[in-house]
Amino acid sequence: MIVCVCSNVSDRKIRQAVDGGLTRMSELRDQLEVGTCCGKCNSCAKNILRECLANAQPNAVQPIMFHTQAMAA
Ligand code: FES
């Protein structure tokens, strides 16, 4: 789905950008030019960004594993 008609940015591009490490609307604006023309896409882009970040968080926190044998050495 095209989110930003002015800059031809799809939800897929936003998801890829978030997977690549972007976390803020200002970064999406700088890198994808989302919302930099008429601004009508801002709320939709923000919602997609929030959704992507919410989905990404469980994977972002990796459990720390300790190997007791390695620690004893
Ligand atoms: S639709 Fe995104 S700036 Fe116009």
Cα-to-centroid distance, 21 and ligand 1 (Å) = 22
The total number of structural domains that make up the chain: 1
Cα-to-centroid distance, 9 and ligand 1 (Å) = 9
CB 27 within 8 A of CB 33: no
CA distance 9 to 62: 31
Which DSSP category does 4 fall into?
E
Ligand 1 atom nearest the C-alpha of 42 is 2
- In this prediction, residue 2 has a pLDDT band, given cuts at 50, 70 and 90, of very high
Which DSSP category does 24 fall into?
S
Tally: H helices and E strands in the chain? 4, 2
Please report, for the domain that includes residue 25, its CATH number: 1.10.10.1100
**pLDDT tens digits, 7-57:** 999 999 999 999 999 999 999 999 999 999 999 999 999 999 999 999 986
Residue 44: the pLDDT is 97
Residue 56: the pLDDT is 80
Farthest-apart Cα atoms in the chain, separation: 62
Instruction: Please name the residue whose Cα sits nearest to atom 1 of ligand 1.
Output: 4
Which residues span the domain enclosing 11?
Answer: 2-72
